[in-house]
Structure 1
């Protein structure tokens, strides 16, 4: 959820030249219908393969789950705070969550209203970023990254009896948590793991020695050394704390070597997600400043994971964030772009499209503008 806009200046200028910056606030429940937001023949979204799930609010960073046969999407709630854009992501000033749900892909989408707000989190500072959710022990758990009163990102948890909330936050963040983008995965044996982390504004690079040091604003700034690793930890039975100290999750290239910090096309940046397909563990993530969702495969929840390729090519807008879920025998990827705001990086909208595998279990890359 960070930004370095020099690398995407050409794309942003292209969007600005051809489309208006007026906000569309009309509610839609279009799913994957094809409704253009502008009649211009130069509309960069005209070939979009899917349409925003809603447009009455801005939504991003979707984590989708099926609970009780219904699809729930736990996403960030973007809004215009008037904060100048910077590489630290201060313009992503979100302060609450709206949970969306629908009976089926393409069906009517329900906005359940505010499920959790910084006003109701005792340790809150600012910036309520990308969440995830899980169900266990008869309760629903909402995991969220949030800066504390010292402006340091921690990960919190809130509890509800219903998947749509409202959720009540625990009084303190998860002990030993840090950085952003929690993704929670429960394996077939019932064990649950959290994957998390994000560099640049997500602060993961500041924990390189196990203690927060406010130094680098990007990464380790050492291109020839191993890249900053995402984190993984098993959750305890309560789902409220880690059962162990978080570990580095290692991503390897085709030669079995860890990616170096200078490999911006493939190294981890943020937006961790885990799913399982044909007995293999698929760890997917965003490459951040190269704007792709990519993935690696491993044989257990801890890895190591070997890089495989691209899941989702860059979308219009700087960030790329996703979740992958099986629904009624088919696989789908939930993601976001900036169609509703007509190109504003910090005002995004959630979408969904089908995800397919080839006969060897490789994910077929998706171009979001290839209709």
Structure 2
């Protein structure tokens, strides 16, 4: 892998790296969530290892998408008494002057087990984060959705939504402004199922030109057919009808490409997809790496299929 990076990254005459190369982060990581805080881009991934070793989160930050600084152990199970393993898919947001990290823990299989989706809080994006509630925010199965893979989205009216769910079911919930609980929808319900065709896990929401782009992962995360598909709706609540895949394996580059997030550069119509994939020849399910490539739209607003690269993305100035 190191040889590939050295071969694929071009350099400017001054010696500064011009392209990031893929993977962009060193080590085995997956499920990357990307965010912009201040003048830095942050990536919060899952540490990709056997579940009993997944007891912490690292974060990475950059000012140019090429050089990344590691911020180790921004949250671990010592700070969350109810979490013991399988810390997955962190999602970070800034709200009311503080930073919040949503995460899944313990890989619960039924409503009798302890775990689910939690919330941690910190004064800085690099933490240290501490448990916000002292308990999971969601600790039960609703509409068949395992409480994992949460993504938090703020709509234009200021309302915070959280999309989540494994086991081929996806729910959306409304978060209270202080993230201490859920608010009911107008009909009194708190969990709305919005599962589109093909959905498996890893939801992500973004808004562009008044349209809501709902994305998810499908296929099996341990296999080569893991991929990303999407839908477009006029509301953050759907209905969401599957349009098609935008990211999938390339036998010349990598397999198992999925569980992504999207970066929009502040003030520019410039988008990037941040995702994990499995290098060619790797058979260990946990040997996943975080990569970044351009995400582009056609004239009608549809997402063009993503071309995975070893080159990565060009250096930018935030």
Q: Name the TM-score, length of structure 2 as normaliser.
A: 0.79
In structure 2, what is the Cα distance between the partners aligned to 1:148 and 1:346?
16
Against the structure 1 CA distance between its residues 33 and 165, is the aligned structure 2 distance closer, same or farther, given a 3 Å change threshold? farther
Against the structure 1 CA distance between its residues 370 and 73, is the aligned structure 2 distance closer, same or farther, given a 3 Å change threshold? closer
Report 1:279-358 matches (<5 A).
279-289=210-220, 290-314=225-249, 316-318=254-256, 320-328=258-266, 329=268, 330-339=270-279, 342-358=282-298
Mapped contact 1:50–1:353 kept (Cα < 8 A)? no
Gaps of 5+ in 2: 11-19, 142-146, 185-189, 312-318
| Alignment partner, residue 167 of structure 1 | 129
| Alignment partner, residue 103 of structure 2 | 144
Mapped contact 1:235–1:243 kept (Cα < 8 A)? yes
Mapped contact 1:63–1:334 kept (Cα < 8 A)? yes
| Alignment partner, residue 118 of structure 2 | 156
In structure 1, what is the Cα distance between the partners aligned to 2:218 and 2:275?
14
1:130 to 82, 85, 89: 89
| Alignment partner, residue 214 of structure 1 | none
In structure 1, what is the Cα distance between the partners aligned to 2:164 and 2:211?
20
Deviation by residue 1:177-224 (Cα, 9 ceiling, x = unmatched): 55210000011111110000011xxxxxxxxxxxxxxxxxxxxxxxxx
- The Cα shift of 1:229 comes to 3.1
| Alignment partner, residue 8 of structure 2 | 34
In structure 2, what is the Cα distance between the partners aligned to 1:59 and 1:135?
23
What SS does the corresponding residue of 2:78 show, helix, strand or coil? Answer: helix
- The Cα shift of 1:367 comes to 3.3
Which 4+ residue blocks in structure 1 deviate beyond 6 angstroms?
none
Mapped contact 2:262–2:273 kept (Cα < 8 A)? yes
| Alignment partner, residue 204 of structure 2 | 273
In structure 2, what is the Cα distance between the partners aligned to 1:61 and 1:50?
19
- The Cα shift of 1:319 comes to 6.1
Q: Name the TM-score, length of structure 1 as normaliser.
A: 0.69
What SS does the corresponding residue of 1:305 show, helix, strand or coil? Answer: coil
- The Cα shift of 1:128 comes to 0.6
Against the structure 1 CA distance between its residues 131 and 162, is the aligned structure 2 distance closer, same or farther, given a 3 Å change threshold? same
In structure 1, what is the Cα distance between the partners aligned to 2:45 and 2:288?
11
| Alignment partner, residue 194 of structure 2 | 249
RMSD: 2.8
Mapped contact 1:99–1:115 kept (Cα < 8 A)? yes
Deviation by residue 1:126-166 (Cα, 9 ceiling, x = unmatched): 21111111111111000000027965541000000101111
Mapped contact 1:76–1:130 kept (Cα < 8 A)? yes
Mapped contact 1:144–1:157 kept (Cα < 8 A)? yes
Against the structure 1 CA distance between its residues 332 and 160, is the aligned structure 2 distance closer, same or farther, given a 3 Å change threshold? same
Report 1:199-214 matches (<5 A).
199=167
In structure 1, what is the Cα distance between the partners aligned to 2:32 and 2:290?
7
Mapped contact 1:284–1:293 kept (Cα < 8 A)? yes
* Count of residues in correspondence between the two structures: 278
In structure 2, what is the Cα distance between the partners aligned to 1:319 and 1:346?
13
| Alignment partner, residue 54 of structure 1 | 25
Mapped contact 2:23–2:310 kept (Cα < 8 A)? no
Against the structure 1 CA distance between its residues 319 and 145, is the aligned structure 2 distance closer, same or farther, given a 3 Å change threshold? farther
